[in-house]
Amino acid sequence: MAEDNKKRSYPKIAKGNWFGLRAKFKQKVPAEVSPSYLASAMDMSPASASSNVIAPLKTFGLIDDGGKPTDLAFEWRDDGKYPEVCATILQSIYPQELRDLFHTPDAAYKSVTSWFARDGKVGEGAAKMYATTYLMLLEADLEKSKEGAAPKAKPVSKSSPAPSRAAAAKPGKSPTAAANGSAGAALRPQQPPEGEKGHTFSPKLHIDVQIHISPESSPEQIDKIFESMAKHLKDFRS
């Protein structure tokens, strides 16, 4: 009964550390996998290296208690033997029940997580890490090492530019243009009759008045402007 209530521990290692260290081993297998070696090779703290990498490597059988790489580690770095090494680790660590229930790479992640939560008597977080490591070994797929190597480009969202104030405004005469037109018509002197052109000299006078009205002006303010114009220009004589 006491054995049944005892927590069972399983190895867990991040895919980035698993494939990253394997890439280092392919370049050169170190004489010893120490916390300081991993801190430099994997860019992590020695404390993190001890708990998150060295501990699972020992459980996997890739290094011995002294940190020295085993024969299995040399086979682990060989692409041709990688699936065989993963199968060896699965058989040496995980119970037959788990391997009987979930023996294909397409095993349901949620179901595997639930199994580890029950068997290991752990929370969801730890169960998920156990399941991720187990499925990684079950897949034995080196293509997975390429995932996340290059960040995906963010899709460029197409958005229509905001319409400018000039484009948003409805077509029509502006207050300035209207003022110009009305003032120009009011200030244009009358021309003499056609028959009198030869006897009198009447110079043509044309005056343009421009009024700049602020867009913030209220309708009442605009009305006052035109009232003032009419007041000052009504007595104009040519």
| Span 109-155, pLDDT tens digits | 999 999 999 999 999 999 999 999 999 999 999 998 776 443 333 44
Q: Is the predicted pLDDT of residue 169 greater than 80, yes or no?
A: no
Q: Is the predicted pLDDT of residue 163 greater than 90, yes or no?
A: no
Q: Is the predicted pLDDT of residue 174 greater than 80, yes or no?
A: no
Q: Is the predicted pLDDT of residue 158 greater than 90, yes or no?
A: no
C-alpha 156, offset from chain centre: 10
- Which residues on adjacent β-strands are paired with residue 63? 69
Q: What average pLDDT score do residues 19-25 get?
A: 97
Backbone dihedral angles phi then psi of residue 177, each to the nearest 5 degrees: -65, -40
pTM for this structure? 0.60
Q: What average pLDDT score do residues 203-225 get?
A: 67
pLDDT value at residue 231 = 76
Lowest mean pLDDT across 104-113, 121-130, 199-208: 199-208
pLDDT value at residue 160 = 47
Using the structure block, give the residue that is written with the tokens 């991993």.
38
In which band, very low, low, confident or very high, does the pLDDT at 194 lie, cut at 50, 70 and 90? low
131, 145 Cβ separation under 8 angstroms: no
Percent of the chain having pLDDT more than 70? 65
